[in-house]
Amino acid sequence: MTPTQTATTQQLLFDGPWSVSSTVLIGLAIAALFAWSLYRERRVLGASTTLTFASLRLIALAGILWMLLAPATVVVQTASTRRTVAFVADASASMETVDPIGTADDSRWNIRSDMGMASEAPGSTTPALASPSVAADGAFTALGVGLNRLSDSIRSIQEHHSQDAIYESLETTLRSIQHAQSGLETVVDQLSSIPSTSQNPAAGSSSLDKPVEAIASDALRILRGPEFEEFAEITTLLSKGKSPSDHGWQSGLRDLQHKMISAREAIGHLAARLAILPSENPMDQNGRSPITADQTESGAFAKLSRSQRVDRVLHSLRETTLADLNEVDVQWGRFDSSYRSVHSDSRSLSTTGVANVPAEPAPGSMATDLTSVLTHLRKLQQQQPIAAAFIYSDVAHNGTSKEAIDRFAADPNESSDEEKAPDASDSTRSQSQSGDTASLMQLATTLTDTPIFIVPIGNPNRLRDIHLVSVESPSVAMRNDDIVIEAHLEAYQCDGERCTVQLLRDGAVVDFREVAIEGDFASRSVRFDQTVSYIGKQTFEVAIAPIEFETSEENNADIVDINVTRSDIKVLLADEMPRWEFRYLAQLFRRDSKIDCDEMLFRPRMIATGKREPSQSFPTTVDQWDQYDVVILGDIAPEHLPVAAQESLLQFLSQRGGTLITIAGQRAMPSAFMDQPLSEVIPVTRIDNTAEPQSGSSDRPQEFAFRATELGRSHVALMIGETQQATRLAWDFVNRFSPVYEVSPYRRPKPSAHNLISVVQRSSADTIDDVAQSSEATEDTFLCWQPVGRGRMVYLSGPDTYRLRFLRGDQLHYRFWGQLLRWAIASDLAGGSRTVRLRTSKSKYQPNEPVRVEVQLSNTVGEPVVGAQEVDLTLTSGSSKRTVRMIPDDALPGTYVAETSFNQPGSYIAEPTGPVVSELRQSDEVENDRAPAVSFTVQAEVPTELIDTRCNRALAQQIAELTGGQVLAPSAVAEVLSLLNLQPEVVESTQRTPLWAQWKYLWLVFGCLQVEWIVRKWRGLS
């Protein structure tokens, strides 16, 4: 059935200056005059001529009268479009949550079909409300509707709209006030009928009941004030088409608005108090509350999920209030990651509470995307006027459909995914995104003509729980390092409690802290200081002892792995000239007992220390380079680093797993090596010349600012603070007060590079936020790295890390290079024995994420074992086990690789097996009894939808206010429907076609008169 019905009527109208009767009388008078004049000339004219002249004069007279009457054909086309009321229910996974008793407006949702709905038809001024709580919610909602319409009236008056529009808004405001008065009268009557506490123990304490009744009386007194009586009189006069005698009545609407706001605040407080009363049922003559169906079913109600509660309410609403809505269309729908319309005869309609047959969950239910609902409403608005939309949801918006918004903006008539079932990709995309509230608000502002009423369901607060939010620790450390493990916990509804936070290693408690909790919400940080004394992966567990009645104990513990490397690092530090960077690094490494540093400096005189002192040149073979863990090259000229040294250096990186750090300069590095073998591993290219600062344009040197990228914020190499928070503050401090002045034009990272710190030119007018946005947009790098076989190449685009010393001493500078070197050598850390080493790229993976395991086979003298056959990788988790064949890596002799993935979370152990592995283990007399293995964890993927199931009432309020709606109690929907304009929208188009405005009628008149004149002249008559 189409929503628009069209009717066409056609009629003939006379728009002349005189009425039809007057024109006819004038015509008769003129006709009589014509007849009398012809009667006088009948003897002269003769009978035939007289009749001819009479006919001509009558025809001319008829033409004149026709034009004087000005007839017109009027075609009136009336298009009557039925309004629609949309009911949309949230079908996402969070709606299956069962809220604890007393946390989710239970009294408002636990209503029977004969209690919570208005029994009167919509449009009645006295809806029947069954209980004080329902009556108070209805009064609160009615005043909300009235305030919105009163604001529309004030705006219409200011913008000089039509009187009809102003009166319609004022009339709705008056009806809403009358509804609110009726609801408050019901509250007062119901409360006054409840006996006092001494006679009725079930009614609750008198200290609670008396203030409630007083609040209701005060609010009712406000609504019966003189301002409201005067407003009723003004509205009555306007309905009769009369103007109020008080010409200042329009300015008085502001005062009325303030009074309504005050009354609504009081009613809101009243409704909140009534919702928590022990009992609202009328008492019997003995002062006892009779047993009702609700009471006997309270246990069953407590087990209902959010979606089941919505089912009950919507089913009751359809059987009562909606049964009388014959003049509007009712549309049903549901949404999760996308919107889907539901037909009235569909069994899946139960998800919106219309049927009793439960529906199967949708594939995309792991996300709540409110933008899909608003996009559908906006599309529907183009086809049919929407009287109101009611959304039943926990408003846990965690998805975004910005692409749907953009698609709709391009073509509003394009069919979208909302009419189709969502696929798995929709769900995955929504899970990977946080809720885009900005796009949601932007879309809501386009629906100002579609009031959206949101009925929120669910607990808005966290349940009693202690949650270990995160555990921070360095992922890499050297043996005997003092490390800090910091745990962040949050406690909800645990005021006055004390909890114990324990630090465990190998299952044994090594330290603990006792934390006092104050307030309903508390956030605490606990710090543990530990010393890692042996090489290898060390696992620490932070656990919180459970407290009584805690919601979940699964979030009370977390594990961190720390890769502990050997306690010495062999470094080669070389530069062309003693730049400040070289000087500070040399002094830093000399003071660090864990770093064995050889230095090379070519100008102004040759300096070489350690292993480089005899030759005073760079290594030229892989074995010579392999004497170092990390090589740091400054602005070295190519003549000092010959091709042979470069080629062997590349082999040292790719085959031996070494690390090269280059610090760019203005003379040679890296510009002079672009045609050298070293250029293969340099991870940057030159920027455009137009991006370079103009030298000499100002006396002030060009400043650069840098900022950690998204990847760098969590990278271990940039952990210059003891915690992530301290690290972020430290980098921000350096960026603000110590700008960089020397950056190489070679700073555009290649696609294979990992950019950790970005850099951007900064002017004096730039703010830190501007710099942050620019640095993310330009993609220029200050620090980046890329893998080179088993090793890595690290690139610094400027010799300015020594500026970390400014204002803070050498603390930040020391930590930066200490973490960078620890991270560099940590790549060589692997589990296993001397002859069989294996490693994974990381220790924690997500489900279905590729897991790459590398195994290095070597004999007892360290030579790689190549060409081995039947090298397998056995993966064990609990009782399950599977084997993956390993493939030799041609670029890395002695290295075998296996890649796999896991869809089940858990702890896995990877162990290489095969004949060659067994022989190597037997040949290793030192560790042949220890099986080479490495462990990793596949973490459970918890959807965003289920991490936080709180009801977001604040977001619901924002959407409702932007669209002219409200946040409703479930029983207040009938109240809203009774105040809405549900009549069809009628549009009339009139087409007027004049029938007299044609030249033929004028020619007819003149023709008749001209014929008579010609005949008279021809016959010689006067």
Do 873 and 786 share a domain, yes or no?
A: no
Which DSSP helix (H) or strand (E) runs through 409? helix 402-410
Query: Distance between CA atoms of 857 and 863, rounded to whole angstroms?
Result: 8
Query: Distance between CA atoms of 755 and 772, rounded to whole angstroms?
Result: 15
| pLDDT of the residue at 123 | 43
Do 312 and 452 share a domain, yes or no?
A: yes
Looking at 917, 944, 971, the residue that finishes a domain is 944
Do 473 and 582 share a domain, yes or no?
A: no
Residue 721 within any structural domain of the chain: no
Sign (positive/negative) of CA torsion 31, 33, 36, 37? negative
Residue 747 within any structural domain of the chain: yes
Categorize the per-residue pLDDT at 840 as very low, low, confident or very high, splitting at 50, 70 and 90: confident
- For residues 332 and 318, is the Cβ–Cβ distance under 8 A? no
* pLDDT tens column, 681-724: 999 999 875 445 444 444 555 777 777 888 887 777 787 776 67
Residue corresponding to tokens 């730049």: 579
Residue 710 within any structural domain of the chain: no
- Averaged pLDDT, 258-267: 93
CATH of the domain at 490: 2.60.40.10
Do 220 and 163 share a domain, yes or no?
A: yes
* pLDDT tens column, 724-742: 777 778 777 777 777 777 7
**Buried b / exposed e along 502-532 (16+ C-beta atoms within 10 A):** bbbeeeeeebeeebebeeeebebebebebeb
Categorize the per-residue pLDDT at 830 as very low, low, confident or very high, splitting at 50, 70 and 90: low
CA distances from 749 to 636, 661, 673, 682, 687 (A): 21, 15, 16, 9, 9
Angle between helices 252-275 and 132-158 (to 10 degrees): 160
* Tokens matching residue 209: 């009941």
Nearest CA to 833 out of 872, 866, 862, 796 is that of: 862
| pLDDT of the residue at 925 | 62
Q: What percent of the chain has pLDDT over 70?
A: 83
* Tokens matching residue 758: 């970005």
**Buried b / exposed e along 145-175 (16+ C-beta atoms within 10 A):** bbbbbbebbbebbeeeeeeeebbbbbbbbbb
Do 470 and 457 share a domain, yes or no?
A: no
User: Given a cut of 80, is residue 1022 above it in pLDDT?
Assistant: no
Do 175 and 311 share a domain, yes or no?
A: no
- The three state secondary structure string of 651-694 is HHHHHHCCEEEEECCCCCCCHHHCCCHHHHCCCEEECCHHHCCC
Looking at 883, 916, 944, the residue that finishes a domain is 944
User: Given a cut of 70, is residue 23 above it in pLDDT?
Assistant: yes
pTM of the predicted structure, to 2 decimals:
0.67
In terms of Cβ atoms closer than 10 Å to its own Cβ (0-12, 13-18, 19+), residue 42 is middle
Report the number of distinct structural domains present in the chain.
Answer: 6
Q: 582 versus 868: which is more confidently predicted?
A: 582
* pLDDT tens column, 353-372: 444 444 444 545 778 899 99
- Averaged pLDDT, 552-566: 83
CATH of the domain at 305: 3.40.50
Do 647 and 517 share a domain, yes or no?
A: no
User: Given a cut of 60, is residue 426 above it in pLDDT?
Assistant: no
- Averaged pLDDT, 812-819: 86
| pLDDT of the residue at 298 | 59
User: Given a cut of 60, is residue 199 above it in pLDDT?
Assistant: no
Residue 8 structural domain: 4-79+992-1019
Tell me the pLDDT of the chain averaged across its residues. 81
Categorize the per-residue pLDDT at 642 as very low, low, confident or very high, splitting at 50, 70 and 90: very high
- For residues 306 and 97, is the Cβ–Cβ distance under 8 A? yes
Categorize the per-residue pLDDT at 344 as very low, low, confident or very high, splitting at 50, 70 and 90: low
* pLDDT tens column, 451-462: 999 999 999 888
Q: Read off the amino acid at residue 335.
A: F
* DSSP 8-state symbol, 116: S
- Averaged pLDDT, 173-180: 93
- For residues 231 and 174, is the Cβ–Cβ distance under 8 A? yes
* DSSP 8-state symbol, 446: G
Residue 659 within any structural domain of the chain: yes
Query: Distance between CA atoms of 237 and 178, rounded to whole angstroms?
Result: 17
101-110, 169-178, 755-764, 947-956: least confidently modelled range: 755-764
Q: What percent of the chain has pLDDT over 90?
A: 29
| pLDDT of the residue at 701 | 58
Do 546 and 604 share a domain, yes or no?
A: no
User: 489 forms bridges with which residues in the sheet?
Assistant: 468, 524
Do 392 and 415 share a domain, yes or no?
A: yes
What is the distance between the terminal CA atoms of the chain, rounded to a whole angstrom? 74
29-38, 290-299, 326-335, 478-487: least confidently modelled range: 290-299
In terms of Cβ atoms closer than 10 Å to its own Cβ (0-12, 13-18, 19+), residue 818 is buried
Categorize the per-residue pLDDT at 300 as very low, low, confident or very high, splitting at 50, 70 and 90: confident
Q: What is the CA radius of gyration of the chain?
A: 43
Q: Read off the amino acid at residue 702.
A: Q
* pLDDT tens column, 72-90: 999 999 988 899 999 999 9
CA distances from 561 to 326, 554, 558, 804 (A): 66, 19, 10, 29
- 270: CB partners within 8 A, 6+ apart: 136, 140, 187, 212, 215, 216, 219
* pLDDT tens column, 930-946: 678 888 888 877 677 77
| pLDDT of the residue at 277 | 64
| pLDDT of the residue at 895 | 85
| pLDDT of the residue at 117 | 41
Categorize the per-residue pLDDT at 602 as very low, low, confident or very high, splitting at 50, 70 and 90: very high
Nearest CA to 131 out of 266, 292, 354 is that of: 292
| pLDDT of the residue at 862 | 66
Do 788 and 645 share a domain, yes or no?
A: yes
Categorize the per-residue pLDDT at 200 as very low, low, confident or very high, splitting at 50, 70 and 90: very low
CATH of the domain at 859: 2.60.40.1930
| Cβ atoms within 10 Å, residue 244 | 16
Do 969 and 1006 share a domain, yes or no?
A: no
Looking at 213, 248, 280, the residue that finishes a domain is 280
Which DSSP helix (H) or strand (E) runs through 78? strand 71-81
Query: Distance between CA atoms of 168 and 174, rounded to whole angstroms?
Result: 10
| pLDDT of the residue at 930 | 62
Nearest CA to 393 out of 104, 134, 88 is that of: 88
Do 274 and 177 share a domain, yes or no?
A: yes
| pLDDT of the residue at 191 | 83
Alpha helices by DSSP H, listed for 124-241, are: 132-158, 163-192, 206-223, 226-239
Query: Distance between CA atoms of 408 and 448, rounded to whole angstroms?
Result: 17
- The three state secondary structure string of 852-893 is EEEEEEECCCCCECCCCCCCEEEEEECCEEEEEECEECCCCC
Categorize the per-residue pLDDT at 412 as very low, low, confident or very high, splitting at 50, 70 and 90: very low
* DSSP 8-state symbol, 291: P
Residue 949 within any structural domain of the chain: no
| Cβ atoms within 10 Å, residue 91 | 26
- 176: CB partners within 8 A, 6+ apart: 142, 143, 145, 146, 149, 979
| Cβ atoms within 10 Å, residue 215 | 20
User: 472 forms bridges with which residues in the sheet?
Assistant: 486
Query: Distance between CA atoms of 436 and 374, rounded to whole angstroms?
Result: 13
Q: 112 versus 487: which is more confidently predicted?
A: 487
Categorize the per-residue pLDDT at 108 as very low, low, confident or very high, splitting at 50, 70 and 90: confident
Residue 594 within any structural domain of the chain: yes
| pLDDT of the residue at 347 | 45
Residue 285 within any structural domain of the chain: no
Residue 809 within any structural domain of the chain: no
Q: Are strands 746-749 and 595-601 parallel, antiparallel or unpaired?
A: unpaired
- Averaged pLDDT, 194-199: 47
Q: 415 versus 397: which is more confidently predicted?
A: 397
* Rounded to 5°, angle at Cα 1005 from 1001 and 1007: 110
